[in-house]
Amino acid sequence: MMLIRPKLSLRPELLLRIGLGLLFLTNAVTAWFNPDEFREILSTSFLGMLFGPTDWLIPVIGINDTVLGLLIMSGWWRTITAIWASLWVLGVIAVTGIVTPEFALHLGVLALIAAYAAPIQTTEE
């Protein structure tokens, strides 16, 4: 007889959603309450050279990361959210570059997004 134990398989998935969602929400809190961290990065990036003042991007980061964090934690629209989050992180890598310590962090976040996008596996006996 086959038994499906969703509680066992959903627990790691729930922890992944909470952890990944909190990464985005933490970044959003930084954008809202410590915008200088982003101001320096953006002003010295190609975006700063291309657009001039980039302060308008800080609220965009805050809104984007808040919405992504909440969507990831809720599990709603998983595929769309994973694609959106991946494109966002790839954009962040394009802005910050690959020769920074943050590059490894961003690759880790992309790996977590890939795990989040994977279908839920149930255990069978």
Residues 26-77: tens digit of each pLDDT: 999 999 999 999 998 888 888 878 888 889 999 999 999 999 999 999 999 9
Selected residue with higher pLDDT from 15 and 44 = 15
71-108 per-residue burial string, b: 16 or more CB within 10 A, e: under 16:
bbbeeeebeebbebbbebbeebbebbeeeeeeeeebee
